[in-house]
Structures are given as C-alpha cells and as structure tokens.
Amino acid sequence: MTLIKTLSMGVAALSMAFTATAASAFEPSKPIDFVIMAGKGGGADKMARLMQSIVEKEGLASKPLVPTNKSGGSGAEALSYMNGVNDPDHTIMVTLNSFFTTPLRQPGLKVDIMEFAPVGRMAEDTFLLWVHKDEGIADFDAFLAEAKKRGNKWVMGGTGKNSEDNIITDFLNNNYDLEIKYIPYKGGGAVAKDLAGKQIQSSVNNPSEALGFFESGDVIPLVAFTDDRLPMFPEVPTLKELGGDFSYFMQRSVVGAPGMSAEAAAYYTQLFRGVYKSADWQKYKSDKSLMGEFMSQLDLADYWDTQRTRHTTILKASGAIK
Amino acid sequence: MEIVEALSQGIWIALQPHNLGLAVIGVVVGLFVGALPGLGSVNGVAILLPFTFVINSATADPASPMIFLAAIYYGAMYGGAISSITLGIPGASTAVATTFDGRPMALKGEADRALVTAAVASFIGGTVATLFFTGFAPFLSSVALDFGNPEIFALMLLAFATFIGLGGDDIPKTLFSICFGLLLATVGFDQISGEPRLVFMNEREQLAVLETFGVANADESVPFFNSVGWFSRGIQFLVLAIGVYGIGEMIWTINASRYKITMTETEISFARIMRGIIGMKDAWKGTTIGSLLGFFVGILPAAGATPGSLMSYGVTKMISRDPKSYGQGNPDGVAAPEAANNSASTGAMLPMMTLGIPGSPTTAVLLAGMVIWGLEPGPRLFEDRPEFVWPLIGSFYISNIIAVLVNLAFIPLFLWVLRMPFTILAPVIFVLSIIGTYAAYDNMYDVWLMVLFGIGAYLLRILDYPLAPAVLAVVLGATAEEKLRQALLLSDGNFEVFYNPFFDRDGKGQEWWIAPVTTWIALILIALPIILWGVRKLRGAPRPTTE
C-alpha cells in the first residue's frame, strides 16, 4: 500500500468522526455491492436478503443493493475481497463474528477490521443447543450423558472453522469433558437440514436457522447461550441457570469497505438506521429472537474493539491461535 | 383425492387474468434474460424482485409475486438454450451442456430442429417435474434429508463416472481433462480452513514483481493489476465455459473452415416446426433421462440445475448405442440437458419451500422474496399456507405451457441471427463473450482469464483433448471436495464411510445404504471403460476411429 493511500485513509477515518452526524452529501452513483460473508440459506444470508428487500420496498436507496455470497474460508474470501475493492464507496458487507475471528486466525490476510467503516449493527443474534427429537434427549443433563457415552461419534455441525459455532463447541468440550466432533459447513441452513436428516447429532444454530424444523417438531432446543431466557423459548433454560458461566452472541452488522469516504459511511448509516426502524425489520427481529439495539460509527468501533479482545482470549484458550 | 381438488383450485387461481398476465410477462422477460450470455435466471429474478412489491400490494393474491418470479426462472431455462444453439455461447451456466450438440446441429443447418427439440424437451422436463412436485412433495423432501455428506459425495463421484465416457475413446485424455478441471476448482480460498490455495502471490508480491519489470506504481497505473490478488477470487465457472465455448470454439471454427464457413440457409415454417416436434421421438431417451435425473439432482440442496443438466447429458451418452454421434449434433444431446435444467429448476423449488434451503442461486433470491412477502419457507409451509402453495404449483403447469408456446413463436427471430453472414456473426460472438463475462462478474480480471481459457481451449482442441469433462469438473469440484472432506471428518479419515454400509457413523450401529450403493455403481462405471481400454491396448487391436 502506498504512503498516500495510508495517509488518505487516516484522514478519512478522522473526518468520519466529525461528520458522522452531519447530513450526508453522498449519493450512490451505481448499484451497491452488498457482500454476504456466509453461504446461501444461513442466518446471515437470510438477513442480508431481507435488508435488501426492505431497502427496495421502502425505497430507502436510489440505487439497488446487489447481494453476493462470498462464503469461502469462514469469511476470508469476503474480507480479502473487501480489503482490495476498487470502489469502497459502493461496497458494503454484512458481517458475523468471523469478522473478528478470521483476521485473528489468518494474519496473512492483512486485514485490520478497524479500517472498515462502522455503518451499523442491526442486531445481536442468539445461540441455542439443538438435538433431533428422535435422540430422546429431554434436557441438557441427558445431552451431556449421551454425548459423553458416544465420545467422538457425537457430531456437532456448524458454520465454518473456528467460527461462533466452533467456539461454543470447544467450550462444551473443554468444560464438560466431552469429545464432540465438530464438522464445518458453509452455512447454517445446511447445518439445520443435516440435523433434521439425522446426519449430525446436534447443532448450535441461531433461532432463525432452526425455527422451521423446530416448528415442524423435528428438532428441540435444550439450552440457550444467553444471559436471560428468550421470550420465544420460555421453557428453555440458559446455560447460566445450569451453572455454566458462559454466554455468547453474534453481531449482525453492516460494514463499509476500507477506504470508504466519511460521507458515504454516513449515508449508509442513515440508510440502515432506516432499515432498522422499519416495521418489517422489527417484526423479523422479534420473530427470530434477535436482541441488541442499533449501534453505529464510534460506538460500533468501540464494540468491535471489545469483541476483538474477547475473541483473542477465546481463541488463545482453545489453542486456535498462539 | 385431496391433492387433485387442491390442485384444480390452484390452477383456477393461477388462470385468473392478473396471474396469467404476470406469467406471460415473466416468461418473455426470462426468455430474453436467459438468451443473453452472462445474464441468467438469477440476474433476472434479482433485478425484478423489487417489482414484486408493487405486485404484492396491487393484487391481494399472496401467490402473484412468486408466480411472476417463477415464470422468469422458467423462461430463462428455456432461453439459455437459444444462444447455446444459435451462437455457441452458453446463455447461462445451466445451458452449457446444450452447446455440446446444439451448436453442431446448427452448423449442420438443423438449428430449427435443435431449437424445437430444446423447447419441447424443456416443456416435458418441466411438466414431469411439476407432476412429481404435486404428488410427492413431502416424501421427496424427506429423501433430500437422507442425503448427508457421504451420500452427496458419492453422487458427485457418480457424475464424474458418467463423464469418463464423455470424451470418447481416449480415456487418458478424458482423465487428464477431469483432473485439469479439478485443479482449477481448487484455486482460491479453501472452503473449510480458509487458507488461500494456488493463488501464487498475494497482491503485494504481485506488485513487487511488476515493479521489477519497470511498471512503477503498478497499482495506480494499471487498473487490471489492482484487482484483488488475481487468483484469490477463484476460477468462476462461467469464465471457463464462455472461454471454452465462446472464444475457443470460435477460433476452431474459423480455422477449420478456412474462413469459408457457410451457414445452411435455415428456412422456417409451421410445417418445419411440426416436423421438429414429430422428430422428438428420436430424442425420447434424452428427454426421459433429463426429466428424471434433473429433478432428482435438483431436489438435493447444494446441487442445482447446472450439474443436473451436465449429468443428464453424460448418462444419456453413456447408455446410448451410438455414443460417437454425441458432440456431432445428436438431438438426444440437446434434449437431455434441456429437459434436465427445467426439471431441476422445478426440483430446486422443493428444498427451498419445504426445507428453507435454496438448491440454486436463483432459489436463494426467491427465498428472500418469500420472507418479505410474509411467508416462512420450511417444513410447515404446505400446511400453513395452502392459499400460496397450490396456486404456485398450478402456475408451474401454466407457465410451462406458456413458455413452450412463446418459445416456439420466437424461433423465427432466433434463426434470423443465424442468417447473418459469418463475418458479422463471429465478431459479435467475441464481443458478446467479453460483455457476458464482464456482466456476470463485474471484473476485468475474469475477462482476461476468459480469453486465456479460450486460447488454451483452442490449443487443447487441436490436440484432441475433450473439454466437456473439465467444465464438469469445475462445476462439481468445489462441492465434491467440500463433501469429501466433511465426510472424512465425520469418519476420522476412514474411507469406509463411502463404501461400507455397516460403518458406524453415529455410535448407534445404524446401517447406511445410500452412499455405498452409489459409490459402488460409480466405481464400476469408472473401472469398466478403463479395463476395456486396457484390454484393447494389450491385444493391440486397432482403436476404432473417431471420424
């Protein structure tokens, strides 16, 4: 990267802080590249496509958002794409927690997440532990007993390697003396399908991913990795109630490509605040047990910093990084 | 008969003027989107998604927006064949296999017959799939659930097996072609570990190399070199397909004909169309295989219409008594992929609606649409929202009839393209190849790569290497690799998971038959031609000539 590029990026970051609340003078001049950091059919994908639909329906943007899935390597493909994009002002991305973990695991990508423009956090997604009803497991204790009995024949499916799902699986293995085998998939949709088909024994899907098979009675939730019980699953205890000191959330944020101008970042923040406030988004949020308020600009950058520190600790503990 | 009643009600609603009108518009739009190289059903559906919000509020009918989008999807499946046949450039990835025999037919002056065959086969494939969809949706979605990672890998192996026979007699060259395709499929980020593979250099290193060649400030002065780490984007399938069939074939044709190519003047009349329809009886095998296999591949999430059409072509050729006529303009070779891509696109609706998992890029967009119209795809959709499901299924029947009629009506227009002098047509094809590639990926890097593949394909063609197996390998390679590795993670690296039904996968001592049966069939199909080839070599018998 040339010196000029670095300098201009610094200036952009500085000016962003000042103009964040000012009225945006930026208007997109061509369709907006809307990158999804995960595969088709997963929670991130469904949500991104819903956001796109809301933007169209409410006429929030003068140019369309064009979603593309870049699911390779737990977000590595998407991050590296964003890092070198030619037109950062027209490139935004829906992120998950792999936004934190993948750059930590792969320093070779040369991705610094603080260079991305903090457009807006749309929600925090929640995690539950799911098993197929035919396993005959009624609660978390029965799960622990059965998983222990079957050793490494008990398979957990999840999205990506060293991702959110993998982190939770590692936590269960390390704290409950289990040997659950983790198999990475491209997206949560494929995981949900393989759990319903009894190809795997458990998952830690988000509610939005498992809901269909929960309603049809194929899969049941055993425990929630949240601080409080979810309104949608009042019967399901949290891990904290059961004595485990662990909760885990996933950010659902929209970010701008590194090098995005402050005006453009302000424009997209305004755009996604509009999406967040729409009736469709609010309904989706409560239907799918999403939590968390809208967060943007400096607040979001702070949040990223905290999360990066936390994930460094988690990944070090599990041995994924040194 | 509960289903018949629900269906007839559904068809009645689909026949209402507003729904019928939307289906006609959708089919026509889809036909043209599909016929333009680089634009496929996914682009058409994505671009017109916003329009459905207008439809949704204008008609109180919950099925109307979906009827419109599904009609585009169908129309595009019909349309893809048109540029494959008339220009030799696949209109969409789903129509790549159609070029194998459609283009030779057009060169022989049978373009009208090829187009009619494609249209009628598409109709039959679509209708057969819709019948399955109507009758067995819940059962079929449970079949899709039985396909885990080992099963899908075994199926991919079967697909490769059918393609051993695709390259003709020269098995080593076919194997080389498959391996070359698999190699291309591994370029880019590893799906599981996230490590970059075969990218050669990262962006910074590439710039350093350029600077040693005297290109100062390469990232600013040469826009092409500024694209993200050249190979880290991977090799996109359409880049290879357009390169091979658009550029490579065109150079080959120019060279082979020594600039004196003469298109047989293709007349078109009602009588010729009728003759084409009657001629379908010569293509019944391809149509049947395409309809059935395409549907089956379509309902498996992770596959979709492109592998379905390629596999159907391979199987049809394999069981044919005259496999050498394939690639020379055999109507079965047009019917099989066209029946299959329509059948698969209906099939792909099934996991999308009943499991909430899109089987193809287009159904991913449809899924998003359903969510915003307030429908929740999933196992309960059929029970919860019959007022949506049945009119939609009804519209599948209607759209298919509209599509085949519209398609047949437009054939004279498509043939007009062929009457252009070759000196005009050839440059148009080159230009369309470049625009098509750029339109699909919005990146000049892919365009240069496409040209490179075209030149490479021409050279391989001179050396008599079959290229279809390489194209198939690029389509299936990524999925096959992902499933192979997931299955091996499951079995702790033990290959028995693929061929031994008694291999204990989940600690409960269950038996798994689907993967082993599929694997054994595939292995036999791979081994047979190789053994026969070896025996022939050993005996020193003269190889049958390909001409």
Average pLDDT estimate for B316-325? 84
> Tell me, what's the pLDDT at B227?
41
As given in the structure block, the two tokens for residue B176 are 């080389």
Tokens of B121: 């086969």
**CA dist B474 to B183, B195, B307, B420, B479, Å?**
8, 19, 10, 33, 10
- From the list A84, A102, A183, the residue facing B490 with the nearest CB is A183
Beta bridge partners of B196: B189
Nearest to A161 among B49, B149, B193 (CB): B193
Sequence-separated (6 or more) residues with CB below 8 Å from residue A140:
A129, A222, A223, A237, A239, A242
Residue of B97 and B168 predicted with greater confidence: B97
Q: How far A227 CA sits from the closest chain B CA (Å)?
A: 28
Q: What is the pLDDT of residues A22-73, one digit of tens each?
A: 444 799 998 899 999 877 767 788 888 889 888 988 889 988 888 888 876 6
pLDDT of residue B302: 61
3-state secondary structure of A85: coil
Both tokens of A39, joined, read: 């595969």
pLDDT score at B228: 46
Report whether B225 contacts B219 (CB < 8 A): yes
Give the pLDDT confidence score for residue A131 in this predicted structure. Answer: 97
Closest alpha carbon to B233 in A254, A162, A73, A67: A73
Under the banding of pLDDT at 50, 70 and 90, the label for residue B383 is: confident
Structure tokens at B309: 């059409």
Domain span holding position A70: 3-125+250-318
Q: Which residue has the higher pLDDT, B337 or B297?
A: B337
Of A56, A81, A218, the CB nearest to B50: A56
The chain-wide mean pLDDT, for chain A, equals 87
CA separation for the pair B163, B178 (Å, rounded): 8
Both A271 and A205 in one domain: the answer is no
pLDDT at A117: 95
pLDDT recorded at residue B223: 40
Token look-up 């453009």 returns A264
Tell me: pLDDT of B196 over 90.
no
For residue A165, tell me if it sits in a domain. yes
Two tokens, residue B186: 């591994």
- Are residues A157 and A77 both part of a single domain? no
Choose among A71, A80, A155: nearest Cβ to B506: A155
Selected residue with higher pLDDT from B107 and B364: B107
* Residue A92: strand, helix, or coil: strand
Q: Where residue A155 sits, what CATH number does that domain have? A: 3.40.190.10
Q: Which of B174-183, B254-263, B534-543 has the lowest mean pLDDT?
A: B254-263
Instruction: Provide the pLDDT for residue B539.
Output: 81
Q: Is residue A237 part of a domain?
A: no
Sorted by sequence, the CB contacts under 8 Å of residue A196 that are 6+ apart come out as A132, A213, A218, A219, B145, B355, B379
User: What contacts A180, CB < 8 A, 6 or more positions away?
Assistant: A147, A152, A154, A155, A156, A169, A172, A173, A202
Identify the closest residue of chain B to A201 by CA–CA distance.
B506
Write down the pLDDT at residue A240.
Answer: 94
Does residue A313 share a domain with residue A267? Answer: yes
Q: What is the pLDDT of residue B262?
A: 54
Question: What is the rounded distance in angstroms from the CA atom of residue B14 to the CA atom of residue B20?
Answer: 6
Task: Mark which residues 466-495 of B lie under 8 Å from A by CB.
Answer: 482, 486, 489-490, 492
Query: Which residue in A252, A251, A256, A253 sits closest to A24, CA to CA?
Result: A256
Spatial strand order in the sheet of A128-132: A181-185, A155-159, A202-203, A128-132, A219-224
Is residue A112 domain-shared with residue A134, that is, in the same domain? no
Please indicate, yes or no, whether residues A166 and A273 belong to a single structural domain of this protein: no
Average pLDDT value over all residues in chain B = 81
Shared domain check, A257 and A111? yes
Q: Is the pLDDT of residue B287 over 90?
A: yes
Give me the helix-helix angle, A297-318 and A164-176, nearest 10°. 40
Taking Cα atoms as reference points, which of A79, A267, A55, A72 lies closest to residue B368? A55
- Chain B partners within 8 Å of A154 (Cβ): 506-507
- Do residues B311 and B297 lie in contact, with contact meaning Cβ atoms separated by under 8 Å? yes
Whether the pLDDT of residue B17 is over 50: the answer is yes
Average pLDDT of the segment spanning A306-315: 92
Determine the residue of chain B that is closest to A213 in CA distance: B379
Q: How many residues does chain A have?
A: 322
d(Cα A107, Cα B472) in Å, to the nearest integer?
A: 35
Using CB atoms and an 8 Å cut-off, which of residues 226-255 of chain B contact chain A? 226-229, 232-234
- Taking the alpha carbons at both ends of chain B, their separation in whole angstroms is 56
pTM for this model (two decimals): 0.80
Same domain, A118 and A140: no
CA distances from A274 to A54, A59, A61, B170 (A): 9, 10, 10, 61
| Region label for B496, one of left (φ > 0), alpha (ψ between -120 and 50) or beta (otherwise) | alpha
Q: Residue B387, SS3?
A: helix
- Same domain, yes or no: A19 and A120: yes
pLDDT score for B547: 39
Which residues in chain B are contacts of A81 at CB distance < 8 A?
228, 233
Domains of chain A: total: 2
pLDDT at res. A271: 95
Q: Do residues A255 and A197 make contact, with C-beta atoms less than 8 angstroms apart? A: no
Torsional sign, CA B351, B353, B358, B361: positive
**Would the pLDDT of A249 be above 70?**
yes
Average pLDDT over residues B90-119: 86
Label residue B329 left, alpha or beta by phi (over 0 means left) and psi (-120 to 50 means alpha).
Answer: left
Contact residues on chain B for A76, CB-CB shorter than 8 A: 189, 194-196
What is the domain partition of chain B in residue ranges? Answer: 2-187+235-539
Give the pLDDT of residue A264: 94
Considering the domain boundaries, does residue A200 fall inside one? Answer: yes
Nearest to B361 by CA among B292, B445, B408, B303: B303
Dump pLDDT digits (tens) for B42-84.
777 877 776 777 787 777 788 888 899 889 988 888 888 888 8
> Has residue A10 got a pLDDT over 70?
no
* A156 in the same domain as A106: no
pLDDT, greater one: B318 or A234: A234
Percent pLDDT > 70 in chain B is: 88
Average pLDDT over residues B143-158: 86
Helix (H, G, I), strand (E, B) or coil at A159: strand
Is the torsion defined by CA of B221, B227, B232, B235 positive or negative?
negative
Asked if A202 and A60 sit in the same domain, the reply is no
Q: What is the pLDDT of residue B3?
A: 80
Model confidence at B259: pLDDT above 60: no
B206, pLDDT greater than 70: no
Contact list, A71 vs chain B (CB under 8 Å):
191
Decide if A46 is inside a domain.
Answer: yes
Shortest Cα–Cα distance, A137 to chain B (Å): 15
Residue-wise pLDDT for B403-448, tens only, equals: 999 998 888 888 877 677 777 878 888 888 888 888 777 677 788 8
- Is residue B137 a contact partner of residue B354, using CB atoms and an 8 Å limit? yes
Q: Are strands A32-36 and A181-185 parallel, antiparallel or unpaired?
A: unpaired
Question: Which residue in A53, A69, A72 is closest to B188 by CB distance?
Answer: A72
Q: What are the tokens at B469?
A: 């197996």
Selection from A3-17, A62-76, B312-326, B492-506 with the highest mean pLDDT: B492-506
B201 versus B474: the higher-pLDDT residue is B474
Verify that A78 and A146 share a domain, yes or no: no
Measure CB to CB from residue A201 to each of B219, B378, B506 and give the nearest one. B506
Residues of A in contact with B194 (CB under 8 A): 72-77, 102, 105-106, 160-161
In this structure, what DSSP letter does residue A291 have?
Answer: B
Give the pLDDT band of residue B1 (cuts 50, 70, 90): low
Query: Does any domain span residue A242?
Result: no
Contacts of B489 in chain A (CB under 8 A): 181, 183-184
Residue B229 C-alpha, separation from nearest chain A C-alpha, in angstroms? 8
Which residues fall within 8 angstroms of residue B427, CB to CB, at 6 or more apart? none
Count of Cβ atoms closer than 10 Å to residue B310 Cβ = 30
- Say if residue A38 is in the same domain as residue A109: yes
Cα of B313 to nearest chain A Cα, Å = 27
Q: What string of H, E and C letters represents the secondary structure of A116-136? A: CEEEEEEEEECCEEEEEHHHC
A284-321 burial, b for 16+ CB within 10 Å, e for fewer? bbeebbbbbebbbbeebbebbeebbeebeebbeebebb
What phi, psi does B345 have (nearest 5°)? -70, -35
Is the pLDDT at A220 greater than 80, yes or no? yes
